[in-house]
Chain A
Amino acid sequence: MAAYRCSSPVWLFILCSFSVFIIAGSEETPVAQEQHANVPDNPQTAAETAEQTEKETGGAEERRWEGTEVRDAATQKQAEPVVLQSTPRPKDDFQEELVVRPLHSGDIYASFQFRTLWETDFMRGNKVSHYRLFPKSLGQVISKFSVRELHISFTQGYWRTMQWGQPYLPSPPGAELWVWFQDSVTDVDATWKELTNVLSGIFCASLNFIDSTNTVQPSASFKPLGIGNVTDHRFLRYATLPREIVCTENLTPWKKLLPCGSKAGLAVLLKSEKLFHSSFHSQAVHIRPVCQDWQCKTTSWELRQTLNVVFDLHNSGQGKREWSLFKMFSRTLTEACPLASSSKIYIDITDNPEGEHFELSPATSLLSQAMVLGDRRTFSVYDLTQQDTFGSVRSLNLLIRWKSTEGDMLRPLLHAERYVAGYGLQTGEIHTLMYNNHPYRSFPVLLLDSVPWYLRLYIHTLTVTSKGKDNKPSYIHYQPSKDRVRPHLLEMLVQLPPNSVTEVTVQFERALLKWTEYTPDPNHGFYVGSSVISSLVPSTVAMDTNSTQERPLFSSFFPCKEESSYFVRVYTEPLLVNLPTPDFSMPYNVICLTCTVVAVGYGSLYNLLTRSFQIEEPSPGLAKRIANVIRKMRGVPPL
């Protein structure tokens, strides 16, 4: 039974955050108008940013910035009628993008995003079956299973938030799948089961292992990211497979979904032997409905394929601190995908405004600024659709050479850890630590924990402490498990005090499984999926999911309203828990032993019952018997 405690504070909180959005929205200055400003990065609030930009306008450098949205829109408008005369305007659009961020640890973070927008209407029930850029297999899945939103990610390795900062798109180790179904679906569980089987076929992954024992319906943590006001979590399913191993067989079908495949554009860099020789690899597919324009008159489907890699070049490179596209991917770029309306490479040079830390070649004069994760970042932009990007050699090989090694990273404001404590194989304790590194602001976080049924949580032992004091969650949604049917689901809204560690502990008992329920390697342990910490509930307002704004793709996935509060999702480590493991030859041994005991008991009883005991005359001695045999042979009567 779901226990709703203190649900009214939640609504209060949501209401409050809305009002904050509205106030902040009116103060916000559009990014595009600040073309002349060069803003150093620091953790700032909206007010501070505004101040600083005002201060620095005087000493602003003259640099050429990326074409503004206004001008682009104007040129598009001029071009459009001409196009319309010859051919119908295509109803779909494809963009590709690569962001490279040198990390402070010396690693390189490369994030690919491919976005296909398709102006169509699945919602209204008319069957769409003609595909151009949108992959047919996914389109069929969406229309057959009445999917509103689909998010699937495959990750190998764990994102080290403390060393690397926040990723553009977080994902837990293993496979994660969450789907919002349309409210026309009557039997959500059956549809979900069928959908996971079909997806496991499409992505060559073992998603078919998703069943009711690892599926939950979060009430607050996973809100729809596209348009639509459905917040009834009966239509949401969330499942993770922390054990899933990601490899080339998952990458190949993922690449097949791209219109250019791996033949042209940025996707030529996706060579599996390099991509999987990395510290972190995550590939994802996100499908959601978005608005085509400000008024949201027309809707379209957005398919985002993302691939994030962290290369450990510093440690494996031969003493030299430099990297290039060729070194990372064993390929250079020669062309953009001809079907892409935009094809860009962004290099994060925020920490290197004067070129003091590293040197980038070939140099570009095109710069862009974007708000990413509450931070204003500056990027060098390489537009692959422009022929002069490739230079005279007709190939682009970006090169970064480090000059100095110092430089410190801002500690991420929010990060989390988790571990299992305790000894023995009977009980244990799960500890989840959430760090708020903000010096003076406290903020609420939503913690989602989905624990398999074979760890029996003692929910009365749940404690939340920060700074040594009890921290009472303002909202708890707990759904107890049922053995072999469903997992535990624990969702809490916790306020994290500034500059503090909040610890959530809960004790559990390890269940004894049936012998067929153990995995083939039971002594390896059993995985428990990551906890999900979402630090702001995303609103479902349609305004921010429109796509007319010319923003870089990586900055526009999660809807965010103001600069001071942005949406972050943090995944903790998955847990590996040992369960009491029997000796698997035991059933046969038990059968043999019991059979033997029964047989011995039965045998003696049988003897007692059937044998008649009588005194037997002593048998003749051995010598006498031999003598008798000899006498018999001689034909003489025996003794």
Chain B
Amino acid sequence: MATTEVERRRGQLAALSIAAVVIIVGVPLWWRTTETYRAWLPVSQIKELAKLQLQLSADVEVVFARGTVTPEQQKKVPLTQTQEEEHAIDEDTALRYRYETRYRTATIMEEDALNQPTAAEADLSLHTLSESPCGSLVVYVIPVSSSLLPEDVNVYIGQRRTALLRIGPQMRVGKTLEQLLAHLEPRIKQVLQVMSFSHTDITAALSDRVRFSPDNKESIADSMRAFKSSPGYEITFSLLNPDPKSHQLHWDIEGAVETYIQPLLTKLSPVANFSIDSQTLYYAMLGVNPRFDASRSAYTLNADSLAHVINPVEARLGSNAASSNPVLNFLLYVPDAHHSPLYIQGRKKQEVPSNAFHSPRWGGIMVYNVNGFYGSKTDFPVDININMAKVMGVFLAQLRLLLGVQSSTPPPGFLVAPCGSTGLADWELDRLMWSRSVENIATATTTITSLAQLLDQIGNIVINDNIAQQVSSAVTSLQLAVAELEAGNLGFALQYSKEAILASEKAFFDPSLLHLLYFPDDQKFAIYIPLFLPMCVPILLSLLKIVSEARQRRRDRKAKND
């Protein structure tokens, strides 16, 4: 009897030790060998970024010209005021605007500049005196009697980062400085809305992060028009000649790009890189047959049918083989001799004066009628030199729209200086840079958080070191961009936000993330069951037996004690 008891004891010990070996050696070994490599990701920092608290700081300098402040008021300036405004967009996103306004009186040289005969000259000479950094503004307060501005204009917005503000007539000399500042404040804010960021712009830029309820169609169309922020754009000009037998077209695209487009793009170079090319496409037809309008003896394209015009052309435009940046297409369509002249008709049946239209986030099309060149005798082909000034005027306007420059009309009483040879005022660039940095930050945070979420959800994905590195660098650049925005360094903020967006996209679209994505559980079981089932069943059974025996013994002992 004792020997069987010893034997049983030995059997139990053996079973226990085998179970122990399986648990201590086997399971970790299996775990280690089948583990997917997942590099460390800065999850906590990503979680912080998911809750975005953006602060935009703008420096405003308000300069009082002679005759706007009394001597005792003058004693109190210079002084600095800070205003903050907070908006909660949704539960995860909050915006804070911080305006730091510094008040000072004009220097003698500035006074001289303000005594120029016209506002444009004053603007130029003020600019030469001091160059204000990117993202800041200077507002010159000029007396009521100043002859710089016409009668009905109260605010003049220059080509650079300066504005002239005429003090209200009710602000007679003698009021206190506080009253004066209280009078100026709403008007300066108005200037800021135009020349720097406005709340609508910034919220529109956040559209990647925040889903807005569509309030009206017009604003959606406005926000959809401009291209998404991208580190680079390809601009393609295409001349469509559907009828090379009748028309021999010549366009001096090289010269036109050099004179009209390049200055604008040079100015925009901090925002994105641009590359330009052009091509001529023959036998390229529009997708819609224009209707003949007998009353004008011309062909017309309806606004409703414009949506179908592009499709057949687009197949021939070709994508850029050399890069993956978004392409802005500008098409110049010369209608064939049998469908000429061709006019685009607006919704209210009136002719569109530019004879051009644009398609949101795609590009623009202009119809260029050449039947004026036919002359009395029509011997085809006709040699036609295209008037590039006319064409580029239209394309430039469309390009500005598509890039998101100039989206709001100035309030009444404002006079905006014409935008010079570069086609873009400094403050317009600033405006664009504000909204682009916010948009980049919004896009990059969304990309990074959704990537982190995806990696968290699907445990099978291998995270290589290079992806972890990209993610960390994206997170660092994002933090830097947010910090720079807070400090008001617009240029750096945009730079970092671009880096963030590049790194985050690279991480998100890395092909190595897809490798082990499909490894379904049923296949795993099919491989494991033949080994694990025969091994685990005896172990489990003997363990159960040991446990039940131990319990039985304890019960026996208790019964014996009782």
Contacts and interface: CB of A to CB of B under 8 A. Distances in A.
Interface string A166-206: 00000000000000000000000000000000100110000
Interface stretch (B126-134, B276-284, B492-500): B276-284
Nearest to A197: B321
B321 A144 contact: yes
Contacts of A129: 275-278
Contact of A339 (B244, B278, B533): B244
A251 to B, nearest CB: 15
A260 B275 contact: no
Contacts of B554: none
A389 to B, nearest CB: 16
Interface string B529-544: 0110111001100100
Interface string A100-143: 00000000000000000000000000000111110111001101
A603 B322 contact: no
B318 interface: yes
Contacts of A144: 321-322
Given A256-B316, A610-B11, A614-B7, A140 B277 contact: yes
B253 A610 contact: no
Interface residues of B, number: 42
Nearest to A264: B283
Contacts of A79: none
Contacts of A598: 531, 535
Interface in A563-604: 588, 591-592, 595-596, 598-600, 602-603
Contact of A131 (B248, B278, B383, B526): B278
Nearest to B546: A610
A636 interface: no
B530 A599 contact: yes
A87 interface: yes
Contacts of A130: 253-254, 277-279
Contacts of A86: 383
Contacts of B385: 87
Contacts of B531: 591, 595, 598-599
A141 B321 contact: yes
A141 B4 contact: no
A69 B350 CA distance: 57
A33 interface: no
A613 B542 contact: no
A88 interface: yes
Contacts of B320: 140
B245 interface: yes
A394 interface: no
A612 B535 contact: no
A610 to B, nearest CB: 4
A338 interface: yes
Contacts of B14: 609-610
Contacts of A338: 244-245, 381
Interface in A68-90: 86-88
A260 B236 CA distance: 20
Given A137-B321, A198-B321, A595-B530, A612 B276 contact: no
Given A137-B318, A610-B15, 18 more contacts: A88-B250, A129-B275, A129-B276, A132-B280, A133-B280, A136-B279, A140-B277, A141-B321, A198-B321, A338-B244, A339-B282, A596-B534, A598-B531, A599-B530, A599-B531, A606-B18, A610-B12, A612-B10
Closest 9 pairs between A and B when the two form their complex, measured CB to CB: A599-B534, A129-B277, A595-B530, A612-B7, A144-B322, A595-B531, A263-B283, A609-B14, A136-B279
Interface of B: 4, 7-8, 10-12, 14-15, 18, 236, 244-245, 248, 250, 253-254, 275-280, 282-283, 316, 318, 320-322, 381, 383, 385, 526-527, 530-531, 533-535, 538-539, 542
